[in-house]
Homo-oligomer: A and B are copies of this chain.
Amino acid sequence: MTFELTILGSSSAVPTSKRNLTAHVLNVHERFFLIDCGEGTQIQIRKNKIRFGKIDHIFISHLHGDHIFGLFGLISTFNLLNRDKDLHIYAHPDLENIINRHIEYFERSISFKIVYHHLNPKVNEVIFEDDKVKVETIPLKHRIPTCGFKFTEQPYLRNLRKDVVQIYNIPISKIQEIREGADFMNDAGELIPNSRLTLPPYKIRSYAYCTDTAYSEKIVPIIRDVDLLFHEATFAKSMKKQAKLTFHSTSEDAANIAKKAAAKKLILGHFSARYKDVSQIINEAKEIFVNTFSAEDGEKYEVNLERQES
């Protein structure tokens, strides 16, 4: 039951020799969610040994080229590999036309269906949900309509303690309600309290992806207590003016958001290509929020499975 983020690209606007353009993959129980798709994403997917066939959902934060120019090649590759499963793309409505024009000219036809989910980046709403995970939008503050995404595991049931099914002769039909918290009456009419039968459930894990955005406290309630927060820090704090002008964040902005939201861990990225060494940005953020890391292409961040306390 993996919950693991892979950074595919960590540069903003322009790639560098060490940083590709923005893309993340979140593995939630072997469902692989692709978030943004800058140029080179399909190459990074290959390099990180993520199987194309595992990707069914792509979330696009906004329609700036550095977040989507990898889609054309990725779709082309899916087509060459004769993909037949639906591909779901969650994005600003304009993307549908842009991709359709490409497909018409470059692919003629494709072997799979693309299901477009048009986003309204102004509201916080659930845009995907299945039995394992829920995805909601995070309205952000950028030059064009932009939203982040929060991935939250669905609640876990309590786990049966070892051997209780045999010890108390529990019929299979009762297991679900016991895992939901019920006590169990055995054949002798004896009531076994749930605490003897089960262990507390696992904690729900969560990841919030916030780029591109200026400092915006409005996102704090949405991302509160998140395990993993990715927040852009395009600039060091000395470039506050430039950040404001371009609707991006500084190291301090990102750290303040992480602190206010009581995130467990902060990952900074979307670094301006002017920074050959991003340690300055990371250190500035650490002064406000200690548990800060820099996004590095190919790095993975796993959130471990832990039990709730009771």
Contact = CB atoms under 8 A, between A and B. Distances in A.
Nearest to A77: B14
Contacts of A65: 72-73, 76, 102, 106-107
Contacts of A15: 42-43, 46, 73, 77
A56 B21 CA distance: 24
Given A64-B106, A101-B101, A16 B73 contact: no
B80 A14 contact: yes
In the complex, which of the residues A66, A73, A81 has the most CB atoms of chain B within 10 Å of its own CB atom? A73
A119 to B, nearest CB: 17
B70 A39 contact: yes
A66 B64 CA distance: 21
Category for how many chain A residues contact B: 20 to 34
Given A17-B46, A46-B17, A39 B106 contact: no
A69 B72 contact: yes
Interface string A10-30: 000111110011000000000
A98 interface: yes
User: What is the interface of chain A mostly: helix, strand, loop, or mixed?
Assistant: helix
A273 to B, nearest CB: 9
Interface in A70-127: 70, 72-73, 76-77, 80-81, 94, 98, 101-102, 105-107
A47 interface: yes
A10 to B, nearest CB: 13
A76 B38 CA distance: 12
Contact of A39 (B17, B42, B81, B107): B42
Nearest to A107: B65
B106 A73 contact: no
A269 interface: no
Interface in A264-306: none
Interface of A: 13-17, 20-21, 39-40, 42-43, 46-47, 49, 63-66, 69-70, 72-73, 76-77, 80-81, 94, 98, 101-102, 105-107
Given A17-B49, A63-B105, 13 more contacts: A13-B77, A14-B77, A14-B80, A16-B46, A17-B46, A20-B43, A39-B42, A39-B43, A40-B40, A65-B102, A72-B72, A94-B105, A101-B101
19 contacts: A14-B42, A14-B80, A15-B46, A15-B77, A17-B43, A17-B47, A17-B49, A21-B73, A39-B39, A39-B72, A39-B73, A63-B105, A65-B76, A65-B106, A66-B73, A69-B69, A69-B72, A94-B105, A101-B101
State the 5 A-B residue pairs at the shortest beta-carbon distance, nearest first.
A39-B73, A65-B106, A40-B40, A17-B46, A17-B47
